[in-house]
Amino acid sequence: MIRFFDLLFSFLGLIILFPFFLIISIAILINSRGGIYFLQNRVGRNNRDFYLIKFRTMYIGADKLGGLTVGNHDQRITSVGYFLRKYKLDELPQLMNVLKGEMSIVGPRPELRKYVELYSEDQKKVLDVRPGITDIASLDYIDENEILGTSSDPERTYIEQIMPAKLELNKVFLNNRSVRNYFRIIGITLKKMFR
């Protein structure tokens, strides 16, 4: 049933948001050199890699300077990128990942391979389901960039504090998967976006 809603929402979303996608694409191209989309290898269901699609929010090659985005004033992010990230609009192209079956609307956020390699066997249970565009862990840690921005060692803070806490929240989600919770998390996400 959840896959049906994923297909329905991603298909309708891509059609309805198409004019908005065009406006964002033009803004990205005017603001900085490079392509419209940023593809990044992430780990999905059954521990398989796939390419996550986002609107590009950084200058070309900026991802090579570090994987984590820290604080509100990361110099790698373009001015249009700040706006897109603030309102989570950079995540919208992931509707294409959902349509392809690589992701769900709701599910644990897909992680980089280097962090998945640090998961315990118990934590790897999050790989039993499709990763999602939104989840409770992301909503609870919506200010993750600011937390990392105040850390003297952002990578260590992420690995030792944020990542384990988010995985625990994801495990709670896995134990309570239902259509009702699916719609509840979508509702909370939309409220936070429009707030």
Task: Kindly give the confidence (pLDDT) of every residue in the chain, 195 residues in length, as a single tens digit, with 9 standing for 90 and above.
Answer: 999 999 999 999 999 999 999 999 999 999 999 999 999 999 999 999 999 999 999 998 776 766 666 655 678 899 999 999 988 899 999 999 999 999 999 999 999 999 999 999 999 999 999 999 999 999 999 888 888 888 889 899 999 999 999 999 999 999 999 999 999 999 999 988 777
Residue pair 58/82 in contact by the 8 Å Cβ criterion:
no
User: pTM to 2 decimals?
Assistant: 0.91
Q: If you search the block for the tokens 């890699």, which residue do you land on?
A: 49
Residue pair 73/135 in contact by the 8 Å Cβ criterion:
no
Ranges of each domain in the chain? 2-194
Q: How far is CA 45 from CA 50, 94, 171, 173, in A?
A: 9, 15, 15, 15
Q: If you search the block for the tokens 């609107």, which residue do you land on?
A: 55
Provide the pLDDT for residue 23. Answer: 98
Provide the pLDDT for residue 61. Answer: 79
| Tokens at 81, concatenated | 């990128």
| Helix locations, the chain, DSSP H | 2-16, 18-31, 79-86, 94-100, 113-116, 136-140, 144-149, 154-157, 163-175, 179-194
Provide the pLDDT for residue 73. Answer: 66
Provide the pLDDT for residue 70. Answer: 63
